[in-house]
Amino acid sequence: MESFGHVIAGEEVASIDGATFESVDPWTRRPWATVALGSAEDAARAVRAARSAFDEGPWPRMSHEERGAILHRLADLLERHADELAAADTADMGKPIAQTRGHDVPRAARNFRFFADHARLTAAERFPMPSGHHAYTEYDPAGVVAAIAPWNFPLMMASWKVAPALAWGNTVVLKPAEQSPASATILARLALEAGLPPGVLNVVHGYGPDSAGQALTESPLVDRITFTGESATGRLISKAAAAHLTPVSLELGGKGANIVFADADLGQAVDWSIKAVFGNSGQVCLAGSRLYVQREVYDEFLAAFTAAAEALVIGDPRDPATQLGPLSSGEHFAKVAGYLDIATAAGARLHTGGVGDGWIVRPTVVVGAGQRDRITQEEIFGPVVVVLPFDEEADAVAAANDTRYGLNAMVFTRDLARAHRVARALRVGTVWTNCFFVRDLRAPFGGAKDSGVGREGGTYSREFFTEPKAVIMELS
């Protein structure tokens, strides 16, 4: 068994009361690591460390060049330790090593490099005023950031929060999800090795409600809360944050619509649609879990899509050939499997898929569901896609918008005007046209409706992780 502690004030430590929990490998279904189980007291200790590193330490007072050099060193170390980090995320939550090693860890390193450079290169604005004054903006660090992360992209989501927070001079307490704690401790160890001063990046492990997570959201010493997770949790965090008017950034759930028009390149649409809903076993907020296909090509598309789904390699996530591993936990497996029963009880049919061995759900294609059925409306967070036919463009747009979520959508068409028209009509944070998951880190990322509050990425992260200050000067 490996062992992972909290990292507080530059030391890897046990919980104050000595409590621990075990992280279970979803493929073997056996514990593989012992992790410190933080309480509200451990969270408070981590917040105090971050507070004093912010109020008295060098980090917020360094230049962007100095901070950037350390963050680039951290990115170097993430790349050097890529095998260890990928193995940790794979052991914690069962994601195939091809995805953790091939995507998540490199992207985490890229997040640190991007925000280090972005903070250094985006100059503050200057506003020459006709009245004989001049005004400029300062972007002061906001203070102590509580970063609460989900389990589906453990290291990658943590870095998406920690990198901009650090680049803009804040100090951080990161609480990873209890299902995927290991890579956060490794990240904090490497951050110290890279030269981050003690207390600048703290990690506290534990659960959410009545535990370390909730304590972070209720602390008067925290200046920003950045959270990624379920919409229901986002509501609780918003409420807790309101007590101290702490600004929150919420990246929440999704039920992505994927619209395939008859004029699309169907081969391309099939490839992307498979990636969009079966990557990471569908445990992706952006999953294209509602697939709307224009009726003229419905049968042809469904046949090709089903064949591609059935061809995915299912198995041990440590095997580099595996494309689809187990779900992240027994509890989550039960939830996803339960949705298959909900679908069939409502009269829909599993065209292919169903439950497999262990905590595997095979790539599952549901047909014959209704637009208002639970299977079409609720986030399942598994390898389950509902395929529905549509006739007119307006019908597809109306169906796509008919959900409480608004994170993202995909549109497949060769008609340029239609692509723009549909993108404009969709109430979501991101529209991918003839592709999926391609990101420019300067672009806004976040969700409309129940999918979130605020945007992150580039200057959007800067707005959240700083206190922009206007300075106005009389020139005469």
Which ranges of 124-169 does DSSP label H, i.e. alpha helix? 154-167
Known catalytic residue at 378:
no
Name which of 80 and 439 has its Cβ closer to ligand NAD: 439
Name which of 68 and 208 has its Cβ closer to ligand NAD: 208
CB of 317 to ligand NAD, least distance (A): 18
Q: What residue has token string 């095998």?
A: 83
Q: What residue has token string 């990240």?
A: 187
> Which of 273, 243, 245, 195 minimizes the C-alpha distance to 437?
273
Name which of 89 and 379 has its Cβ closer to ligand NAD: 379
Rounded to whole angstroms, how far apart are CA atoms 174 and 183?
Answer: 11
Question: By Cβ distance, which residue is nearest to ligand NAD?
Answer: 208
- Sequence-distant (6+) residues with CB within 8 A of 420 are none
Cα–Cα distance list, 157 to 180, 184, 252 (Å)? 11, 10, 12
Q: What is the pairing mode between strands 133-141 and 466-474?
A: antiparallel
Name which of 299 and 331 has its Cβ closer to ligand NAD: 331
- Sequence-distant (6+) residues with CB within 8 A of 345 are none
CB of 134 to ligand NAD, least distance (A): 39
Rounded to whole angstroms, how far apart are CA atoms 343 and 262?
Answer: 27
Backbone angles phi, psi at 315, to 5 degrees: 165, -150
Name which of 4 and 139 has its Cβ closer to ligand NAD: 4
CB of 149 to ligand NAD, least distance (A): 6
CB of 138 to ligand NAD, least distance (A): 29
Rounded to whole angstroms, how far apart are CA atoms 296 and 254?
Answer: 28
Cα–Cα distance list, 26 to 64, 86, 317 (Å)? 41, 15, 9
CB of 476 to ligand NAD, least distance (A): 50
Side chain identity at 205, as an amino acid letter? H
Name which of 72 and 449 has its Cβ closer to ligand NAD: 449
Name which of 178 and 413 has its Cβ closer to ligand NAD: 178
Cα–Cα distance list, 149 to 225, 252, 293, 318, 419 (Å)? 11, 11, 34, 23, 34
Q: What residue has token string 């498979």?
A: 274
> Which of 260, 263, 187 minimizes the C-alpha distance to 409?
260
Known catalytic residue at 251:
yes
CB of 172 to ligand NAD, least distance (A): 14
Side chain identity at 170, as an amino acid letter? N
CB of 150 to ligand NAD, least distance (A): 3
Residues of this chain that bind ligand NAD (CB under 6 A): 148-152, 157, 175, 177-178, 207-209, 213-214, 217, 228-230, 233, 236-237, 251-254, 285, 379, 381, 407, 447, 452
Rounded to whole angstroms, how far apart are CA atoms 151 and 29?
Answer: 17
Of these residues, 285, 331, 378, 392, which one is catalytic? Answer: 285
Of these residues, 178, 251, 379, 456, which one is catalytic? Answer: 251
> Which residues are identified as catalytic?
251, 285
